[in-house]
Homo-oligomer: A and B are copies of this chain.
Amino acid sequence: MIDRLDGRLIELLAEEPRIGVLEASRRLGVARGTVQARLDRLQSQGVIRGFGPEVDPAALGYPVTAFATLEIKQGQGADVREHLAGVPEVLELHTTTGHGDMLCRLVARSNADLQRVIDRVVGFDGIVRASTAIVMENPVPLRIIPLVKQASED
């Protein structure tokens, strides 16, 4: 899928996103055209989706994160998805196997505000039950580099 050079390139870009193609080629010890070609390939293959800004919800005034497990009334899935997609505080939504039917990540301005968010989330006909887990700490923030390293060494 990806080789060592791809892996090193991704790691380099993750550490110092500001560097350009030329600087990256110097760091990696390859020609500029090579880096350019690798980058193009990685993007067209979908390995690298893009370089969008990583925004911190806490810095935006939403320091509270929670995960909600939702139980959905049969056949209401599509409506619930649409409803949740319309709530800005819903940062992501998954349908899952297991006890609940959906799992979503929420943010709120405070613990008190979280109540408002949850009310808005579950205040919809298709949702039967919700159980919420508030995040206290985040020992491992969303990361991908260790996986990239592993994948590039195969």
Interface residue ranges, A against B (CB under 8 Å)? 1-2, 10, 13-14, 17-18, 45-62, 65, 67, 69, 81, 84-85, 88-100, 103-105, 107, 131-144, 146-151, 154
How many copies of this chain does the complex contain? 2
In the assembled complex, the CB of A138 is this many whole angstroms from the nearest CB of chain B, namely 5
- Known contacts: A60-B148, A88-B150. The answer to whether A95 contacts B52 by CB under 8 A is no
Is the Cβ of B136 less than 8 Å from the Cβ of A60?
A: no
- Give the residues in chain B near A46, CB-CB below 8 Å: 56, 58-59
Contact (Cβ within 8 A) B97 A136: yes
Interface pair A104/B140, CB less than 8 Å apart:
yes
- Which of A139, A141, A146 has the most chain B CB atoms closer than 10 A to its own CB? A139
Enumerate chain B residues within 8 angstroms of A85, measured Cβ to Cβ. 139-140
**Which of B51, B52, B61, B65 interacts with A151 by CB under 8 Å?**
B61
Q: A84 to chain B: which residues have CB within 8 Å?
A: 139-140
**Closest 4 pairs (CB-CB, A-B):** A98-B133, A93-B140, A88-B146, A96-B133
A147→B107 contact, CB < 8 A = yes
Report chain B residues within 8 Å CB of A133: 69, 96-100, 103
